[in-house]
Chains A and B, each alone.
Chain A
Amino acid sequence: MSESPAFELPKVEGVDVEFVPPNLLKLKGVMARKEPSADVAQLFKHLHRDAIERRLPTFCVDVTGLTFVNSSSIRLFIDWAVWVKGETAHRYLLTFRTNRQITWQTTAFAALSSLMKEVVSVERM
Chain B
Amino acid sequence: MAELTMEEQSRQRPAVFMRFRPAWSYIEGIREFGRFFCQTTFGTPELAERACIVIQEALENAVKYSSNATKEGGELELLIQSDGTTLEISVSSLPDAAHLAQLREELSDLHTLAPEQAYLAAFLRAANEQDKSSRLGLARIRYEGGLEVSLQEQDGGRIRITATGKL
Contacts and interface: CB of A to CB of B under 8 A. Distances in A.
Nearest to B138: A71
Nearest to A116: B127
Given A104-B144, A107-B144, A70 B123 contact: no
A37 to B, nearest CB: 7
B124 interface: yes
A75 B126 contact: yes
Contact of B53 (A37, A81, A104, A116): A104
A82 interface: yes
Chain A CB within 10 A, most for which of B31, B57, B132: B132
A78 B123 contact: yes
A29 B136 CA distance: 21
A79 to B, nearest CB: 8
A116 B124 CA distance: 10
The main secondary structure of chain B at its interface with chain A is: helix
A125 B137 CA distance: 26
A81 B127 CA distance: 8
Given A75-B136, A115-B120, A115-B124, A32 B144 contact: no
A75 B133 CA distance: 8
A70 B119 contact: no
A29 to B, nearest CB: 12
B42 interface: no
B140 A115 contact: no
A12 interface: no
Interface residues of B, number: 27
Contact of B49 (A102, A111, A114): A102
B132 A70 contact: no
A34 B24 contact: yes
Contact of A78 (B49, B56, B119, B127): B127
A108 to B, nearest CB: 8
A72 interface: yes
A88 interface: no
A102 B45 CA distance: 10
B64 to A, nearest CB: 8
In order of increasing CB-CB distance, the 6 nearest A-B pairs are: A71-B136, A75-B134, A71-B134, A111-B123, A71-B137, A107-B144
Given A68-B52, A111-B123, 17 more contacts: A32-B28, A68-B56, A70-B57, A71-B57, A71-B135, A71-B136, A71-B137, A74-B136, A75-B136, A78-B127, A81-B127, A82-B127, A103-B49, A104-B53, A115-B123, A115-B127, A116-B127
Interface of B: 24, 27-28, 31, 46, 49-50, 52-53, 56-57, 60, 119-120, 123-124, 126-127, 132-137, 140, 143-144
